[in-house]
Structure 1
Amino acid sequence: MALFTLVAFANYFLSGAGGEQLIPLAKLRTRITRRVAFRVIAIISGMVALVSLLVTIRSEADQQNANFSFAMGMFLAAGAASLKVHSRSRKLCTQINGQTCSLILALDSLPYGAVDEPTSRMDSTRHEWHKLKQMLENRIETGLPLHSSALLPAPNRLRVEGLVNMARADTPQGTLFALQARSELYDLADACGPRIDATL
């Protein structure tokens, strides 16, 4: 029962805790690592709890071979599920890191394009942001939204979106917001950097 309680706690409380609060982007790397760790803890705890329950119910000597086979199957399934969580987080961080760099390049090009191409450059920046926004809304641990966390909380996404939209404005204030947006995006790329995997 203690292990099942730990599974529920890790899945529904630890994984989702603070999911919609504004966080400093300097702490984003810790957020990703913590969410992945909690999910793996939940998987392993659930596996141990099920095996323990089965061994308790079927404690007869003639059931030990079946118990061992079940335990090994659960161990392999838990290992595969844990690797899936790690693979998902690496793939997501790889995509976000690359798309963030693309958006930074689009922002950098805003002041330097041809005079007759401002609309095209602003549309390109908006397109790059929409692609990044979709990635940031993805869940870190699993595709199930009920008990998993978006990589970046909604308030942070809205803040970056506001900065990018203001940066697209062809005004001196837009240049200031572009610097702020670029700083936030660099922090985002740095947070995802340690988990990138070019082979994915």
Structure 2
Amino acid sequence: MTEILILYYSRGGSVAQLARQIARGVEEGGATARLRTVPPVAPVTESAAPPVPEDGAPYVEKRDLAECDGLILGSPTRFGNMAAPLKHFIDTLGAEWVSGTLVGKPAAVFTSTATQHGGQESTLLSMLVPLMHHGMLVVGIPFTEPALNTTRTGGTPYGASHVAGAKDDAPLSDEEKQLARALGKRLAQTAEKLRR
């Protein structure tokens, strides 16, 4: 069966909520979703992350990348870019880049910001750059998805997104949920076609 890796970092929980909606879409698309996260990073390097997260998705292992048929990458926005923990993990993938582990697999991205104009699109675009260097095939959300034309919250053609509010307490809107599921379903269906 086609398996899609949904790899994300979530500090306040809204990116994790989006990941779960994307996973629903992956399963609606006939594939299996594998949810994984990355450990936090800090300027103090003496302390290490526990070997297993206390709750939520398990930490990613590099074999997850080799075993997946597609990848959906998620991160909160940090000044219009992905968060450091996700970038740190990506920066360790030199061997996978050289060996072509991800070449030809479809990829998509998702994010969450505190405000409507908090850098969603620049974050999504910056997350796509390393995936393109790995030879992945980019999948976005086409405007044939009705919610993309009507949303007043998150959702872009570059990927799924959420406006979480300054206190990270805004629930996902109906449009954000629809677009997250649509992205997951589209990537799953694309991965299945590429496997043939």
TM-score bin (small chain): under 0.3
TM-score by length of 2: 0.25
